[in-house]
Amino acid sequence: MTRIAIIGGHGKVALELSRILAADGEDITSFVRNPDHAAEVAATGATPAVLDVEQSTTAEIAEALRNHDAVVWSAGAGGGHPENTYAVDRDAAIRSMDAADQAGVGHYVMVSYLGAGPDHGVPPENGFYAYAEAKAAADTYLRASDLGWTILGPGRLTDGAGTGLIDVNPDGASQSTETSRTNVALVAAAVLGLPVPMRRTIEFRDGSLPIAAALDALD
């Protein structure tokens, strides 16, 4: 049994991931900021725990992550003021990486998005700019860390069916990049089940290949 921590446990991807991992017999700690969300998290089979990563220090997050084998970052500010976006999606995410390193966590999985990076191309006047900048900084920090890591870059998220079929490295300019949240959770579960972290970014959308085959094709 693997002990897996999920940060941002009340999000749609995180709730679905908890269901998948719990059904596979994994031991899941799902961290939420709002204690009112604990019952919904517990219904997935995960153990809910309250942790406000925006307000927590690196040491406090490290203590929460201690004795876990892997951590999944699925938290986000959810829009709003740029200051909040930077505080959560950049600063708290980076603190969680340092905390995971301090706690001896073997695998850090970051849920990012297709096209994230310093060359994201989002203009400063666009409302998405702060999020794009924050994710670029967090992803870059993770790649440079000593952690075993995997970054997931799904396309535009939908509530569509989780088919278990994806295409990797899609060309967003010429085709749909829609990605169901359930497929994101299935990809996260698949990479968590690998014997060693991939230490790579996996960009994908809903597609035609079974997830295991799509990941094998990346080797």
Query: Of 158, 161, 6, 143, whose CA–CA distance to 71 is shortest?
Result: 6
Q: Record the pTM.
A: 0.96
Q: Where are the domains of the chain?
A: 3-216
Q: What is the pLDDT of residues 123-152, one digit of tens each?
A: 999 999 999 999 999 999 999 999 999 999
CATH number for the region 3-216 comes to 3.40.50.720
- What is the distance between the alpha carbons of residues 93 and 138, in angstroms, rounded to a whole number? 6
Low-confidence ranges of the chain (pLDDT < 70): 172-174, 219
